[in-house]
A and B are shown apart, each in its own frame.
Chain A
């Protein structure tokens, strides 16, 4: 006799299909891709067995190369070999020059968006990042036997601002990758570490990478990873330690105005010297340039002396993060070290002293972020429906609006748990004022000029009223990726303005679509085919998701409602199977979405009620 199959509540009766999801660590110096296979997270390697892909893109006469192949030409082809572009994401030329001094690139930011001049024309940091992501996507798809990936969790420094996050997401979109979530690097590391060690309590993740520094204080409790506070510097990393050595070399050799090639040579030698000092007490650096030969001796003590101001800077961020979290150093159970730059002995020593405990260095600081991202990606695509893990993250930098006198009024303070929605009311200050300009800013300082400008937009069509009579309600919404959108509304008339905050120097959605189009060889037909495929997949996904929900919760709808929903679903399926117009499928999906809105709301309420009932039962 055949046995009846009974599905677990919350699971569909369809056979469990494993979806391909990856975690990507898009690093300043190196990038990695990882996935969960047969329950185990592992980084994926290239043909030579390397997990790390140097984050370097070299633009050739025809096409480009990524990784080691590109990196070896850094010194002989500096203008066309882009290194550490992550530091340029979401930045202006002026900011880059102020932070990094001399770099071997030709920047320009005409039309307000930053580009680097190469032999293939102007390349934006988003474009270069997307070339790196593309290489990782190809690596993943090859290891899956050519299957396409469903989506990716991409990590970003916790201290990345809104503009940098948006740029990262744009780069992924450009590489044809569906972003399941942007995940903060230290949180990803905590996931990998926490699940591995089974440790519960408060941990600090000290993450010093090639170009960024993050400190996150987290509480681990029964599968919940709750970020209590985060801090850092998105322009401080291993590259800055190299720059100190480059300065030292310049002084010792008396060479000052370096050509791009010599500068790149110095940077490469500095990096090698820094790495060697991890294992040796003294390094002799040979520098050959412009027909001269110099040898510069660097001892570990000298390097420590040069480096200590930078390390102290990171410790100040640690102190502030602890304070924001309301945690004292002795409550910190473990300090987890992440990022290649934590290999420097001076860093380990200082961090150990600050937290008064030996930092944990046994985990691989290079891979742990990608591994954590892969674990979350696996859960987000639904491969582990029974997983109990939950990540609660925070907003790294305060968000606010410009008010009178060039001051910033904070709307959402830093370290607020996301997602979050906050509203604030403003009023007009002149009689008969019909428009209001809104300037959205991010940062901790009081003056507009000291904060990062995210967007400017205006609310027009306010009916003329006496000064102070209009009530303008501005709402900030930050989603689970840490991305902001802003709406403004005049309350008495309902006049509304809405923007997805896009940094003025970033890319608009149209630009992304345009770049996508031009990057495809046979533009139009391919584009159409790709969009059609995307919509068909989306229709299928919506259908499956609803089927699964209905299997458990159809009792939340009456017969009439159920019939309406079923009808919309059937129509969507029929259209998806017959049409060649992506827009028609999109419309049908939207109809299903609208028809299911009450159902979704009731399901949410029911699950919340259930969660709380479960809680009180536990307490009894």
Chain B
């Protein structure tokens, strides 16, 4: 997998963020356009492209959801931009309830407590679906990859919820 190779780290869902950070700076020191400002046009263009790739790799490797999506894509399961809906009524029901709770935060008498409660819930869901990713993605069985893909689809819902909550928090905070 290109991004892992670029950072010269083992292909593994669990990553050492500190190691990634250190590698990132070393890569930037070598490739950044400012390091090639005296070079030919070709070299400068190459520096911009390479740095863009390094930046993209960092964003992907650093973020748990993006990292999982990337690994699945490399395994042949492209989830990014897919239209497929989730076939899990229980999960969807739970999401709808959480959405309602989210809407109620705005009008809640104690928004801080409501936000804290939702945050806790999101955290639990997050670890529930993230827990198995390491072993599922390391597996050689295609079946496991499909299981991982389903977990990632659910994680996407969870992350979206988290974004929404942050947006609402911003709104409440700003006035």
Contact = CB atoms under 8 A, between A and B. Distances in A.
Interface string A405-439: 00000000000111111100100000000000000
Given A319-B173, A416-B59, A612-B8, A480 B28 contact: no
Contact of B50 (A221, A226, A604): A604
A30 B43 CA distance: 37
Interface residue range, chain B: 35 or more
B2 interface: no
A614 interface: yes
B51 interface: yes
Given A379-B34, A419-B55, A592 B29 contact: no
B37 interface: yes
A549 B41 contact: no
Given A549-B39, A611-B27, A320 B52 contact: no
Interface string A184-210: 000000000000000000000000000
Interface of A: 180-181, 221-222, 224, 226, 316, 319-320, 323, 376, 379-382, 388, 390-392, 416-422, 425, 477, 479-480, 541-542, 545-546, 548-549, 592-594, 596-597, 600-601, 603-604, 607-608, 610-612, 614-616
Contact of B37 (A319, A382, A416, A419): A382
A596 B40 contact: yes
Nearest to A424: B81
Nearest to A544: B38
Contact of A390 (B28, B42, B50): B28
A392 B28 contact: yes
* Chain B binding surface SS class: helix
Contacts of B33: 419, 479-480
B30 interface: yes
B29 A316 contact: no
Contact of A596 (B34, B42, B50): B42
Given A390-B35, A480-B33, A612-B8, A419 B40 contact: no
Contacts of B77: none
B55 A616 contact: no
A419 B56 CA distance: 10
Given A180-B37, A316-B174, A615-B23, A421 B30 contact: no
30 contacts: A224-B25, A226-B25, A319-B173, A323-B170, A380-B37, A381-B37, A390-B25, A391-B34, A392-B32, A417-B55, A417-B58, A419-B51, A419-B52, A419-B55, A420-B52, A420-B55, A420-B56, A477-B48, A480-B33, A541-B38, A545-B38, A548-B38, A549-B39, A549-B43, A600-B43, A600-B46, A604-B46, A608-B27, A611-B27, A612-B8
Given A600-B46, A610-B30, A421 B173 contact: no
Contact of A600 (B23, B29, B40): B40
A316 B174 CA distance: 7
Interface of B: 8, 22-23, 25-35, 37-43, 46-53, 55-56, 58-59, 81, 170, 173-174
Nearest to B8: A612
Given A379-B34, A542-B40, A593-B40, A477 B25 contact: no
